[in-house]
């Protein structure tokens, strides 16, 4: 019984210290994003919150498992010169109560985490996809090809947005819903438009990614929440997250989240070709 009490005390202390450390890690990042180190979209807030919640839940579980291994080695290990050295009378021993509790608690934890934050978070993500015309969403056609991202703005007459160096660039207005319409094909060749490969549209700072599959049109709706650019934060970039060939590591594009007026000026200059 003394071993159980000692183990319990150590577990509680380690769990409290671990929770303090996890909480400090989470709140050390902007917006309490923790390991995500900043989220710049409404979907990113959801995914970061889910990760932070699981981290908090995992701390006492991790402390329990590690402490059990270390405690058992130290407390019940046989010393080199111990009179108990030798083969134990019982080579195996089972505690049915412990096994039963372990199984039941594991099942309950898995069911709980599946319900929240998994199912509840997905419900929030699905709700965010239902953007209405009254919200004036920005439509961005995203074309993935080996190995380039091409961004078009049909509402503004922009067929391909590029910067002064001719590189593809993604401009987005802050606090305005954006609907990405994504396809995978090569628009510069006349062969079958469905024979490109699978790519994956990923902006780390947005906290979400989606595969872009040949022959399919996929949509993703999110709202950028703060002014930033790739130059100020490298986590704000479009990066292919699906191995798509030798040029995969370099299939990226800069992103700029700007004010509404700055976006309008940029769109006007892009449409005029200046």
Domain ranges of the chain: 2-75+99-128, 134-272
The verdict on whether omega for the bond into residue 168 sits within 30 degrees of 0, i.e. cis, is no
- Structure confidence by residue, pLDDT tens digits, 201-228: 999 999 899 999 998 999 999 999 999 9
Bridge partners of 152, per DSSP, are 141
Mean pLDDT calculated for residue range 34-39: 69
Contact 164, 262 (CB under 8 A): no
Contact 209, 238 (CB under 8 A): no
34 vs 1, more confident: 1
pLDDT of 2: 84
User: Which has the closest alpha carbon to 217: 156, 157, 139, 159?
Assistant: 139
- Structure confidence by residue, pLDDT tens digits, 127-178: 989 988 888 999 999 999 988 999 999 999 999 999 988 899 999 999 999 9
Residue 190's pLDDT band (cuts 50, 70, 90): low
Q: Is 147 exposed, middle or buried (0-12, 13-18, 19+ CB in 10 A)?
A: middle
pLDDT of 159: 92
Residue 238's pLDDT band (cuts 50, 70, 90): very high
Spatial CB neighbours of 270, under 8 Å, sequence gap ≥ 6:
153, 156, 158, 161
- Structure confidence by residue, pLDDT tens digits, 176-186: 999 999 999 88
Query: What CATH architecture is 134-272?
Result: Sandwich (2.60)
């Amino acid at each position: 019984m003394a071993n159980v009490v000692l183990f319990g005390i150590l577990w509680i202390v380690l769990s409290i210290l671990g929770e303090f450390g996890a909480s400090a890690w989470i709140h050390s990042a902007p917006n309490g994003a923790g390991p995500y180190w900043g989220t710049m979209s409404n979907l990113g807030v959801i995914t970061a919150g889910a990760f932070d919640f699981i981290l908090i839940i995992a701390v006492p579980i991790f402390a329990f498992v590690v402490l059990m291994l270390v405690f058992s080695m130290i407390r019940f290990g046989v010393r080199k010169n111990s009179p108990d050295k030798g083969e134990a009378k019982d080579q195996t021993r089972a505690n049915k109560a412990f096994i039963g509790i372990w199984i039941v608690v594991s099942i309950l934890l898995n069911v709980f985490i599946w319900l929240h934050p998994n199912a509840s978070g997905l419900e929030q993500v699905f709700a965010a996809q239902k953007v209405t015309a009254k919200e004036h969403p920005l439509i961005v056609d995203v074309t993935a090809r080996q190995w380039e991202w091409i961004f078009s703005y049909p509402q503004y007459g922009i067929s391909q947005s590029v910067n002064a160096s001719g590189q593809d660039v993604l401009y987005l207005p802050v606090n305005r819903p954006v609907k990405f319409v994504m396809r995978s094909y090569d628009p510069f060749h006349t062969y079958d438009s469905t024979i490109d490969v699978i790519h994956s549209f990923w902006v780390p700072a947005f906290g979400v990614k989606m595969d872009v599959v040949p022959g399919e049109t996929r949509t993703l709706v999110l709202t950028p929440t703060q002014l930033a650019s790739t130059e100020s934060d490298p986590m704000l970039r479009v990066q292919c997250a699906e191995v798509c060939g030798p040029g995969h590591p370099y299939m990226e594009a800069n992103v700029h989240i700007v004010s509404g007026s700055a976006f309008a000026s940029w769109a006007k200059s892009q449409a005029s070709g200046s």
